[in-house]
């Protein structure tokens, strides 16, 4: 487990790139097992590739998504997309907490 430094998270891609990759990959695997893989791949490639994780303090992370929240190449209604995307973001935030040692 990596020793977490909130100040270093300001330059997260320089200091924590492997940990960020691990958290996103583990979230992807969890979501891909639970939901339609085409939808998960579309969200991963089209929305989460443009996302930005932030450390909020007290062991909490927030993932900011791009303003444009549409996916192409897969048929999905807006309510389903929103629900799966919200769940996916929750999973990433949970994996970030785990990777950086904020879960017991």
What Å distances lie between residue 62 and 37, 59, 69, 76, CA to CA? Answer: 24, 10, 17, 25
Average pLDDT over residues 83-92: 97
| Nearest by Cα to 24 from 100, 103, 91 | 91
pLDDT in tens, 24-50: 999 999 999 999 999 999 999 999 999
pTM of the shown model: 0.92
pLDDT at 10 over 80: yes
Contact 42, 73 (CB under 8 A): yes
């Amino acid at each position: 487990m990596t020793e977490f430094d909130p100040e270093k998270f300001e330059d997260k891609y320089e200091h924590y790139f492997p940990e960020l990759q691990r958290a996103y990959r583990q979230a992807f695997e969890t979501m891909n097992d639970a939901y339609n893989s085409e939808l998960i791949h579309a969200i991963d490639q089209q929305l989460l590739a443009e996302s930005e994780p932030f450390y909020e303090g007290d062991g909490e992370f927030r993932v900011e998504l791009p303003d444009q929240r549409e996916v192409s190449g897969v048929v999905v209604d807006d309510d389903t997309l929103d629900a799966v995307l919200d769940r996916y973001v929750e999973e990433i935030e949970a994996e970030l907490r785990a990777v950086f040692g904020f879960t017991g």
